[in-house]
């Protein structure tokens, strides 16, 4: 039996199905792998037995992925699985920040006892006059799974859409409407925007990427939307821009001690991916990634190891070595296999950044001393006997 520890509520109804050969355990110490969402694992004492972690969702800034890579722990995410949910809530944020919907609803609640409410509402409504999205300029920062969908949806709404993403993938460039105008600098993107929405991961080059300099370039009374991460905006700068009227609204998914005190905000409870569909999509993707890794050693959608696949483990034995991306690893591994007279059927070696992965099938099981010798290679982080 392979053992799984879940952290967080993976789905609203609790349905998480791994199928035969798996069981859930209460303690991470007893588990082979972790299935999780947004809990912050920085500072968490990860038990030695954990071989893989799957994050149901896109962002992995809550996981120390490089530290885990060096411990031979493969971290997966579920790219794109919740992107439609985020796109839809961003569209809601665009409309809510333009049409006085929430304020108008509040007026109705506040006047619920008024017998003349129907007539009085006609007088009150001038306070809630908004503006249309059609023809307005929007800047989309990050054109990945979420940003590309948001940009295309804004084109469909008749907006004038600009996008900025120096690292856009070929797949997402293809998916983008030709009406989205790509710009080369963040400053050019921000200039004159009525709306600005961010869809980048939280990492060194995106921390506080929206600050006074960028906000000053927006059109007067612009709307800022952040359904990515709280770290991406400089909260003091946004607070000042709201108070000075440079920004008319700020919509975000992150209730921090500072955002909750800002004027003119719509703030949600990190609910961008909060739909049953997105939860199920993320769980399905994360579960199949974990199963393929635990059963076959294949790596799909890892954020700290290269993609690597040799299909189903059918040979007598399959071994995976997780190691540093340094010269002569294959030489050292094959030298040890040669000593054991092991016949390698297939071997794959892939690398990504500082980390690499070598997986091979052999005709016969390797003996224990050979496995031990592989573990003793200095740059090896972990050796897995998959079969």
Ligand X SMILES: NC(=O)C1=CN([C@@H]2O[C@H](COP(=O)(O)OP(=O)(O)OC[C@H]3O[C@@H](n4cnc5c(N)ncnc54)[C@H](O)[C@@H]3O)[C@@H](O)[C@H]2O)C=CC1
Q: For binding to ligand AKG (CB under 6 A), which residues are involved?
A: 37-38, 56-59, 82, 270, 273
The reply on whether position 202 binds ligand X by CB under 6 A is yes
The listed partner (ligand AKG, ligand X, none) that binds 38, CB under 5 to 8 Å by sort, is: ligand AKG
Considering only CA atoms, which of 201, 215, 207 is closest in space to residue 139? 215
- Shortest Å, Cβ 115 to ligand AKG: 44
The listed partner (ligand X, ligand AKG, none) that binds 83, CB under 5 to 8 Å by sort, is: ligand X
The reply on whether position 206 binds ligand X by CB under 6 A is yes
What are the phi and psi torsion angles at 86 (to 5°)? -70, -45
Cα separation, 268 vs 166, in Å, equals 29
The reply on whether position 86 binds ligand X by CB under 6 A is yes
Judged by CB under 6 A, the chain residues 212 through 241 that form the site for ligand X are: 227-229
198: its two tokens = 């961010």
The listed partner (ligand X, ligand AKG, none) that binds 228, CB under 5 to 8 Å by sort, is: ligand X
The listed partner (ligand AKG, ligand X, none) that binds 145, CB under 5 to 8 Å by sort, is: ligand X
Exposure string of 40-52, with b = 16+ CB inside 10 Å and e = fewer, is: ebeeeebeeebbb
Residue in 94, 143, 159, 320 binding ligand X, rule: CB under 6 A: 143
CA separation, residue 112 to residues 100, 104, 107, 168 (Å): 18, 12, 8, 50
CB 232 within 8 A of CB 254: no
CB 381 within 8 A of CB 72: yes
The reply on whether position 272 binds ligand X by CB under 6 A is yes
The reply on whether position 141 binds ligand X by CB under 6 A is yes
Q: Residue 195 forms beta bridges with which residues?
A: 138, 223
Residue in 53, 56, 146, 374 binding ligand X, rule: CB under 6 A: 146
What are the phi and psi torsion angles at 106 (to 5°)? -65, -40
Mapped to the 3 state alphabet, what secondary structure does 67-114 carry?
HHHHCCCEEECCCCCCHHHHHHHHHHHHHHHHHCHHHHHHHHHHCCCC
- Cα-trace Rg, the chain: 25
Which residue stretch of 94-102, 115-123, 202-210, 216-224 sits at the interface with ligand X (rule: CB under 6 A)? 202-210
Cα separation, 313 vs 387, in Å, equals 7
C-beta closer to ligand X: residue 31 or 60: 60
Judged by CB under 6 A, the chain residues 278 through 297 that form the site for ligand X are: none
The listed partner (ligand AKG, ligand X, none) that binds 380, CB under 5 to 8 Å by sort, is: none
C-beta closer to ligand X: residue 83 or 329: 83
Residue in 62, 82, 97, 362 binding ligand X, rule: CB under 6 A: 82
C-beta closer to ligand X: residue 82 or 298: 82
The listed partner (ligand AKG, ligand X, none) that binds 167, CB under 5 to 8 Å by sort, is: ligand X
Contacts of 40 (CB under 8 A, 6+ apart): 62
Which residue stretch of 142-150, 280-288, 335-343, 354-362 sits at the interface with ligand X (rule: CB under 6 A)? 142-150
Residues that bind ligand X (CB under 6 A): 57-59, 79, 82-83, 86, 141-147, 164-168, 172, 199-202, 205-206, 227-229, 253, 270, 272-273
């Amino acid at each position: 039996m392979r053992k799984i520890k879940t952290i967080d509520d993976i789905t609203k109804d609790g349905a998480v199905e791994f199928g035969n050969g798996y069981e859930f355990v209460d303690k991470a110490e007893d588990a082979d792998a972790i299935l999780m969402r947004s809990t912050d694992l920085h500072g968490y004492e990860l038990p030695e037995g954990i071989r893989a972690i799957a994050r149901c969702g896109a962002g992995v800034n809550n996981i120390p992925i490089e530290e885990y890579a060096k411990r031979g722990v493969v971290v997966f995410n579920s790219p794109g699985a919740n992107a439609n949910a985020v796109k839809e809530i961003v569209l809601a944020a665009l409309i809510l920040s333009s049409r006085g919907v929430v304020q108008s609803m509040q007026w109705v609640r506040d006047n619920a006892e008024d017998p003349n409410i129907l007539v009085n509402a006609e007088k009150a409504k001038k306070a809630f006059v908004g503006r249309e999205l059609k023809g307005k300029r929007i800047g989309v920062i990050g054109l990945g799974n979420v940003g590309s969908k948001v940009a295309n949806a804004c084109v469909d709404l008749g907006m004038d859409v600009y996008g900025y993403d120096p690292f856009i993938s070929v797949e997402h460039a293809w998916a983008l409407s030709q009406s989205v105008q790509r710009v080369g600098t963040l400053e050019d993107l921000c200039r004159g925007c009525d709306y600005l929405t961010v869809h980048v991961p939280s990492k060194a080059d995106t921390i506080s990427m929206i600050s006074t300099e960028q906000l000053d370039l927006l059109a007067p009374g612009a709307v800022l939307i952040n359904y990515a991460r709280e770290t991406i905006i400089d909260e003091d700068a946004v607070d000042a821009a709201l108070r000075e009227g440079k920004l008319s609204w700020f919509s975000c998914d992150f209730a921090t001690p500072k955002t909750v005190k800002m004027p003119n905000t719509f703030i949600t409870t990190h609910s961008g991916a909060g739909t049953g569909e997105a939860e199920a999509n993320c769980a399905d993707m994360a579960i199949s990634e974990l199963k393929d890794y635990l059963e076959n050693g294949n790596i799909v959608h890892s954020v700290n190891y290269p993609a690597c696949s040799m299909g189903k483990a059918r040979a007598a034995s399959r071994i995976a070595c997780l190691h540093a991306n340094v010269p002569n690893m294959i030489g050292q591994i094959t030298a040890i296999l040669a000593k054991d007279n092991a016949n390698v059927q297939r071997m794959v070696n892939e690398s990504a950044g500082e980390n690499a992965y070598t997986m091979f099938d052999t005709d016969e099981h390797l003996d224990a001393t050979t496995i031990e010798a592989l573990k003793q290679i200095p740059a090896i982080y972990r050796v897995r006997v998959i079969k």
